[in-house]
């Protein structure tokens, strides 16, 4: 059985034609994309790196990574979103390998292939996020990096990410997120420890409704990015 929530896929399929409209429901992704890419770039560099982007949607992150010189493979299970991503390549002229596949399927055939694996704004939309984490470990090369971004689970994140973002500020369509699927940093850390991914760094993302700008911060209460690294050698495992 695939690790997929059909209702979540349907949500994104319905909006697929609006992926590249920077003023659409995907405006927050367009706005935070430079923060995400710069964070990844300053951690490990991007030029000539083999990268797998899991849950790529319409390709907003994948194209930004490719623009920095990375060799990008990107996967998703929303066929309409993948179609939009492929069509947009005609405009951007970038070389990205888009595939309809799960992270688990990729792990079976592309084990230890990638310098960097990204899984951003995706874990909170699948039934079994721990399975995705395990696949990310398998996909990364020894010494490779895995980047996750998701939403913490606490009263503040409910207020900001659902009440604020979906109902007051209308930054996202109502029903975009399910609070019960939000992930505490400690939960993500446990899943990563279970497969021997080592925490390298983590940082929060904030939003100022007055200036309408996103920014990185030390506070992990709502949105956060976590950088994990696969041990370089078998000797480092379980240390």
pLDDT at 237 over 70: no
Q: Residue 221 burial by CB count (10 A; 0-12/13-18/19+): exposed, middle or buried?
A: middle
Cβ contact 95:154 at 8 Å: no
Please give the model's pTM, rounded to 2 decimal places. 0.94
Q: How far apart are CA 145 and CA 140, in angstroms?
A: 7
Q: Partners of 202 in the beta sheet?
A: 226
**Per-residue pLDDT for 190 more than 90?**
yes
Angle at 127 between CA 151 and CA 63, to 5 degrees: 60
Q: Is pLDDT larger for residue 1 or for residue 23?
A: 23
Question: Would you list the DSSP string of 169-232?
Answer: S--S-TTS--GGG---HHHHHHHHHHTTPEEEEEEEEEEETTTTEEEEES--SSEEEEEEE--S
C-alpha span between 201 and 195 (Å, rounded) = 17
At residue 197, the pLDDT reads: 98
Q: Dump pLDDT digits (tens) for 113-168.
A: 999 999 999 999 999 999 999 999 999 999 999 999 999 999 999 999 999 999 99
- Stretch 103-110: mean pLDDT, rounded? 97
For the chain, domains (ranges, CATH) are 6-151+178-236 (3.40.50.150)
Which of the residue ranges 82-86, 162-166, 172-176, 234-238 would you say has the lowest mean pLDDT?
Answer: 234-238
Does the structure show a pLDDT above 90 at 238?
A: no
């Amino acid at each position: 059985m695939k690790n997929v929530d059909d209702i979540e896929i349907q949500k994104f399929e319905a909006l697929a034609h609006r992926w590249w409209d920077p003023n659409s429901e995907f405006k927050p992704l367009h706005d935070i994309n430079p923060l995400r890419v710069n964070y990844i770039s300053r951690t490990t560099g991007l030029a000539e790196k083999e990268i797998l982007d899991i849950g790529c949607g319409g390709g907003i992150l994948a194209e930004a990574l490719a623009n920095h010189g990375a060799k990008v493979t990107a996967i998703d299970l929303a066929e309409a979103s993948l179609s939009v991503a492929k069509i947009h390549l005609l405009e951007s002229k970038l070389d990205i390998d888009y595939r309809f596949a799960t992270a688990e399927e990729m792990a079976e055939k592309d084990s230890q292939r990638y310098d960097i694996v990204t899984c951003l704004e995706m874990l909170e939309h699948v039934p079994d996020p721990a399975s995705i984490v395990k696949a990310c470990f398998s996909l990364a090369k020894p010494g490779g990096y895995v980047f996750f971004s998701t939403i913490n689970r606490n009263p503040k994140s409910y207020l900001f990410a659902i009440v604020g973002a979906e109902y007051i500020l209308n930054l996202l369509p109502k029903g975009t997120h399910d609070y019960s699927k939000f992930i505490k940093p400690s939960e993500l850390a446990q899943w990563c420890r279970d497969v021997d991914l080592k925490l390298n760094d983590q940082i929060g993302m904030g939003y100022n409704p007055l200036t309408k700008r996103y920014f990185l911060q030390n506070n992990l209460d709502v949105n956060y990015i976590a950088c994990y690294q696969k041990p370089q050698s078998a000797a480092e495992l379980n240390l």
